Structures are given as structure tokens and as C-alpha cells.
Structure 1
Amino acid sequence: MSKGSKTADSIRRHAERLFAARGYAAVSMRDIAEAVGLRVGGLYNHFPTKQDILRDLLVGHMDDLLAGWAAFDDPLGTPADRLTGFARFHIRFHFEKPDAVFIAYMELRSLEPQNYAEVEALRRTYEGHLRAILAAGAPCFVVQDAAVASRAIIAMLTGVTTWYRAGGRLGIDDIETIYVDMVRRSVGLAGLHDAAMAPLAAEAAHVGGRADIRA
């Protein structure tokens, strides 16, 4: 990787951290330059505006998400298996990127119209993969509206990052298991681990909305 590429990656990392901690509007280009260890003029050599940094972060996040799903998915699998795989993939991918997830949802409103449209198109593409799985499983899935169901499932899975904290009673493997079963049951399938995981699922449903909970 060239020196210029390394500097651009450093700018992205520090900007992501600052945007997540303070909010996009409260962070200046000078703040980012100081965090990276650059003069402000050096920052402009890589990103002409703060908006360019935000656009780069959000588009990059979605590109990584789509590429990750393409590598993970087995298009020849049954709809039930692919739905299970989607739930596992989505939780794992987002669990490892809490700052990126926070910015992707909270700062979407900060994008200028053209950049917003670009990111929204990528989000629709990703959602479309889940909708296709739901459509393919129509003979055995119970889904009233595929569009609503896909958005609800994605929102539920992404929500793990807002409340889960490492070091508690449940590890990410346990959380993944609980959520996989909830996704399956939401479309009328039996959970893979219903009997064994019922007590954990009940507690997760009880505490899931509390941001300070340590599972």
C-alpha cells in the first residue's frame, strides 16, 4: 500500500471514530487533521470536503457489506438455509463494526442529495437480496409483505449493536443463536434451537431495548 493510501485509510479511521463519538456536524476538518497528525491542507489533498469523507465512509460500508454477503451466501441453498445464513452474516458483520453501523444509520441524513441517493441505492440492493430469499421461500414462509418483513428483519438484526456489550453473561455466539431463531420464527419456520435456547431468548427479549445492558 502506498503512503498516500495509508494516509487516506488513517483519515477514514479517525473520521469514523470522531463522527461516531461527536456527530458529523460537530466535527471539523481541523479536528480530523489533528487526529491524523496532518496539517489541514494535507487533509484536503485526500478529501476536498468533510462531505466527501462521509460519503466515502458510507459507500465503503455498503460496498463491504454487499461483497461480504456475496462471498458468504450459497445461492443454491434452500430459502430456509439462506435466510438462516443471512441472519448469521448480518449479525457478525455489523457486530464487528459498531462505529460504521452507527454512522450508516445516524448520519445518512447528513448526506447531500446526490450522495444520499447513491447510498440509498446500495441499501436497497442489500435489502433486495433478503426480499429475494423471502420470495423464494413463499411456499413455506408466512410473510404478509416481503418489503416490510425484510426491513423489519434487517432493523432487528442491526439493533444488536446498539445494546450488546462484550464481557457479560452471553457471548456473541449466544446472541447469534437467539436472533437466528427469532428470524426463522418471524416467517413461520421452527427455530433451530427453540428448546435449548428458550430461556435465553426470553431474557434477550426483555433486555434488548436497554442500551446499557451487559448480556
Structure 2
Amino acid sequence: MARKTGSHSQTTGPRVRAAAARLIARHGYAAVSMRQIAAEVGVQAGALYLYTPDKQTLLYDLMRDHLEELLAAWQAVPAETSPEGRLRAFVRFHIGFHLDRAEAVFIAYMELRNLEPARFAEIEKLRHAYEDALEAILSAGQSDGSFSIPDTRLATMALIAMLTGVTNWYREGGRLARAEIETIYTDMALNAVGATRG
């Protein structure tokens, strides 16, 4: 009889999530079966249900874990005093965090449609919390005159789409190093919000 607790579950559980993330990112949630995930991990299909009740819960857990990690990591970034400094920090953080987790990013953005309504609402709440952090930066810059933005919510969504899009094309060893991309995107973000830089 398979064990549900102890060292085996502590190693197999993360392997199940990692295998699910790889397969869903590669083939899409609808095309991936629990049997395929089990084969990727090297266990019997029935053994997966020791670690997750169903595929829907597995998808939800992957999204929730990614977004909770994202929020915690952003909250740990040292605070900058000016809106421009905070926006610079946000851009660099967002690109660096997401490039290290391209599979999780793809799942979190592209597979929302496959969540049940209650779980969709929970994931959207986490996404909005992160978006609100950027909007607060933009609103502060709007208030003190350092940014010129017609609509801070629209600017928030546009910037996040631009920054997250890097994960679609960036490859290590390409023409531009990660640090160069972060610098260029920081300047583009500041230009996009009409930053009044000296």
C-alpha cells in the first residue's frame, strides 16, 4: 500500500506538481491527462490521487502557489522612496521573477479559462493584488506630478502585459543579456507613463 505521509510524499508531491507544470505548459491543460502526469513522474496513475484529488485542483494549486510566491517576493523587495524608483524596481523585479518561471507564467495567464468559477475568483483576487501594487506606484506618481497618465488602471494592465511578454521570446544567450533587457524595459516603462526625468 502506498504511503501518504513521510519522506516519500515530501519528494513525490513536488515532483507531481513539477511534471504537471511541464506538461501543461507544453501541451495545454485540456490535452494533459492524469495518466500522462503519472508517467512523467514514474508512478502509477492511481498514486497521483495520494497527492491531489483531481486535475482541476492540481491546476489551481499551481496557479495559487505561483501567485502567492510572486506577491511574497515583491513584498520583500526593498522599498524605494520615489514613484520613479519604485517603478524601476517593479520592472526589474517583474522581468527577473517571470523569466525564471516561464512555465508557471504561461499556466497562470493562459489556463485561467479552465478553472471552475470559485477557483477562478480566488486566482483573480491574487492577480489583482499584484496589479494593485503597480497601480499604487502609478497613482503615487500621478499625484506628485512625476508621471502623466490618462488612466492608471489601463496603464497598469498595459505595463504588465508588456513586461510579462518577455517570457514569450527571451532565451538565455541571446543578443541581449537579461540585465540589458531590464534596463531597456525600465526606460520604456518610464516613457510610457510620461515620467518627468531630469
TM-score (structure 2 length as normaliser): 0.92
Q: Residue type of the partner of 1:143?
A: I
What displacement does 1:38 show? 1.2
- Of residues 122, 129, 134 in structure 1, which corresponds to 2:133? 129
Matched, 1:167 2:173: yes
Match of 1:6 in 2: 11
> Which blocks of at least 5 consecutive residues in structure 2 are unaligned?
1-5
**Alignment-mate amino acid for residue 16 of structure 2:** I
One-letter amino acid of the structure 2 residue matched with residue 59 of structure 1: R
Q: For the Cα contact (< 8 Å) 2:146–2:196, is it kept in 1?
A: no
What is the match of residue 142 of structure 1?
Answer: 148
Contact 1:91 1:158 survives alignment (8 Å): yes
Cα distance per residue 1:144-195 (max 9 Å; x no partner): 1010000100100000011112222211111111101000111112679xxx
Alignment partner for residue 22 of structure 1, among 18, 23, 27? 27
CA shift for structure 1 position 5: 2.2
Q: For 2:43, what is the secondary structure of its paired residue?
A: coil
- Please say if residues 23 and 37 of structure 2, whose CA atoms lie closer than 8 Å, have aligned partners that are also in contact: yes
- Choose 52-61 or 162-171, whichever is displaced more: 162-171
Matches within 5 A, 1:48-63: 48-63=53-68
Whether the 8 Å CA contact 1:185–1:191 is kept in 2: the answer is no
Contact 1:91 1:157 in 2 (8 A): yes
Match of 1:203 in 2: none
Listed as ranges, the gaps of 5+ residues in structure 1 are 193-215
- Runs of 4+ deviating beyond 4 Å: none
Shift of the alpha carbon at 1:3? 2.7
Which one of 64, 69, 75 corresponds to residue 70 of structure 1? 75
Q: 1:42 deviation in Å?
A: 1.1
Alignment-mate amino acid for residue 95 of structure 1: L
TM-score, length basis structure 1: 0.85
Aligned to 1:113: 117
How many residue pairs get matched?
191
- Deviation per residue, 1:125-147 (Å, 9 max, x gap): 00000111111111221011010
**Residue number among 34, 41, 52 corresponding to 2:46 in the alignment:** 41
What is the rounded CA distance, in whole Å, between the counterparts of 2:9 and 2:102 in structure 1? Answer: 26
Q: CA RMSD in A?
A: 1.5
Which of 94, 100, 104 is the aligned partner of 1:96?
Answer: 100
Write the letter of the residue equivalent to 1:66. L
Identity %: 51
Deviation of 1:2 (Å)? 3.5
CA contact (8 A) 1:180 1:191 kept: no
Q: 1:55 to 1:37 in 2, by over 3 A?
A: same
Matched, 1:156 2:156: no
Q: In structure 1, give the amino acid aligned to 2:47.
A: G
Is contact 1:134–1:141 with CA below 8 Å preserved after alignment? yes
